[in-house]
Structure 1
Amino acid sequence: METFFNNLLEFFFILIGLQLIYTAYKVFINKSNTKRVGSALFWLDLGILFMLGKFIPPMVSGLLVVLLGVISLFRQFEISQFKPFKQEKLENDAKRFGNKIFIPVLSLAVISVLLAMTIKESSTSAIGVAAIVGVILAMAIFKSKPKEVIEESDRMIQTMGTSGILPQLLAALGAIFTIAGVGDVISQLIGGFVPEGNRLAGVIAYVLGMVVFTMIMGNGFAAFTVITAGVGLPFVIAQGADPAIAGALALTAGYCGTLLTPMAANFNVLPASLLEMKNPNGVIKEQVPVAVLMIIVHIALMYFWAF
């Protein structure tokens, strides 16, 4: 069963790669894009990585990733312009379908969670299965054709631009930091400020460390291993804190940092881009008060619950 779902995950990666290669083709034939060659190469490169990343040598994968950075560094990437939707049509569709528009989105969350809980081995590909079901439901509800699905997927990919790959890069960076021993360096730095044996100071350092490092990394999971190794273990858990409670609260504290950083592109940058907000940091601005309050709550909960 595990082998089946691992192969299924690889199938989803190939599907994503095919969509990205289609986007590369659409960008290349779009003469209104002044940097269509570089932009098309970017999406083609990314598509190859998704499709063949498991099969090509690590050195080749690394060079392809570097190429993505080179294209962006020399500003050879440009987001294509699309014809805006007619406001009248949008309003008519909203009245016509009402709350039905939420069915495919909600099914994505419900199906992925149920599948992961029912079949433990499916956790790696549960979201992919749920996404396929969600697309089928959307096509049934809105009477869409497969071509429309591909075209709108292309529109979304191009609208997101280079920020769409930021989560993958940051997750990889977190693994590199852990292997490089960044946690040990942070432990040494924090040790000079946190009084030995002071539980409250240790908790504050752990929570704020998770918040700040998540803001830098843009990914709470990437920050968790580094900060837990460097701060959580020596300054909180070693003083008698319950590892399960302290670790769980530390991870959700990292999510507070997610609310405060543009590095968390999939949460803060992409919505602003897709909604065409005037202020690219508008989402973050609205989340600051909630994030600050939740940081204080996390410090209190860890101090009183974990010990």
Structure 2
Amino acid sequence: MTILDALYLLVGIMFAATAIINLRDSLNSKRWKSAGFWGINAIIFIFGRYLPPLANRILVIVMVLLAGLGGLGRSGKPETSLEQREVRASRFGNRLFIPMLLIPLVTMLGTFAFKSLTWNGALLIPAGSSTLAPLAAGHDAGNGAGGRRKPLVWRRSRLSGLGAGGG
């Protein structure tokens, strides 16, 4: 398994979790279609290399139809108020842009670095795919710079807020 295969598996698992979260969200009137969209996305990322090309094409068309015909919905749970968002924005100031700028920077630098990164004479990232791993690293760098020092605690609290956790 290459790093890219592991990355696809990890993203597929994330999409599967998103499908489950959507399915459990009783306040989302479009939860079944949303869960279907994310579930199909998970299937493509996890099993796409084993499926025939026609099956992948059909799955992508179903995803496009689900999204294009209004199948994706949002939860009915209350969002933060305008006042809460303004307080947070004033507290962070221009530092809000650091995570957003780190993602493309790390992606660009990592793409150049990973193009020639080898282990025992074999490329760690297959040719033509050297952007995905740095993009994931850029995402992590952006989260780290954004103050997410405890990602598991943050994820657990966010998942429980969506009705998927035990809290």
Aligned to 2:21: 26
Distance across 2 between alignment mates of 1:115 and 1:35: 38
The one-letter code sitting in structure 2 at the alignment partner of 1:146 is: L
Shift of 1:86: 2.1
User: Cα distance 1:67–1:135, how it changes in 2: closer, same or farther (>3 A)?
Assistant: same
User: Cα distance 1:20–1:67, how it changes in 2: closer, same or farther (>3 A)?
Assistant: same
User: Cα distance 1:95–1:9, how it changes in 2: closer, same or farther (>3 A)?
Assistant: same
- Are the equivalent residues in 1 in contact too, given 2:148–2:154 (CA < 8 A)? no
Distance across 2 between alignment mates of 1:70 and 1:95: 40
Matched, 1:106 2:106: no
Larger Rg: 1
User: Cα distance 1:39–1:83, how it changes in 2: closer, same or farther (>3 A)?
Assistant: same
Shift of 1:44: 0.5
Matched, 1:127 2:135: yes
Higher RCO (CA < 8 A, seq sep 6+) = 2
Determine which structure has the larger helix proportion and give its number: 1
User: Cα distance 1:119–1:77, how it changes in 2: closer, same or farther (>3 A)?
Assistant: closer
Shift of 1:145: 4.0
Aligned to 2:61: 66
Aligned to 1:148: 154
1:56-94 Cα distance to aligned partner (Å, 9 max, x none)? 332332332233245457x57131234221222222222
Distance across 2 between alignment mates of 1:112 and 1:78: 29
1:117-166 Cα distance to aligned partner (Å, 9 max, x none)? 3443463332222222222332xx255543535749xx9xxxxxxxxxxx
Distance across 2 between alignment mates of 1:145 and 1:39: 25
The one-letter code sitting in structure 2 at the alignment partner of 1:148 is: W
Give the % identical residues. 24
Alpha carbon RMSD of aligned pairs, Å?
2.9
The one-letter code sitting in structure 2 at the alignment partner of 1:109 is: P
How many residue pairs match? The answer is: 145
- Are the equivalent residues in 1 in contact too, given 2:31–2:73 (CA < 8 A)? no
- Are the equivalent residues in 2 in contact too, given 1:34–1:78 (CA < 8 A)? no
- Are the equivalent residues in 1 in contact too, given 2:29–2:73 (CA < 8 A)? no
The one-letter code sitting in structure 1 at the alignment partner of 2:84 is: K
User: Cα distance 1:64–1:107, how it changes in 2: closer, same or farther (>3 A)?
Assistant: same
Aligned to 1:79: 73
For the residue of structure 1 that corresponds to 2:79, the secondary structure is: coil
For the residue of structure 2 that corresponds to 1:54, the secondary structure is: coil
Q: Residues 105-254 of structure 1: matches in 2 within 5 Å?
A: 105-121=100-116, 123-124=130-131, 125-138=133-146, 141=147, 143=149, 145-149=151-155, 151=158
1:186-237 Cα distance to aligned partner (Å, 9 max, x none)? xxxxxxxxxxxxxxxxxxxxxxxxxxxxxxxxxxxxxxxxxxxxxxxxxxxx
Distance across 2 between alignment mates of 1:117 and 1:17: 25
Shift of 1:114: 1.9
1:15-50 Cα distance to aligned partner (Å, 9 max, x none)? 222222122112212222233222211210111112
The one-letter code sitting in structure 1 at the alignment partner of 2:73 is: I
TM-score scaled to structure 2, two decimals? 0.68
The one-letter code sitting in structure 2 at the alignment partner of 1:11 is: A
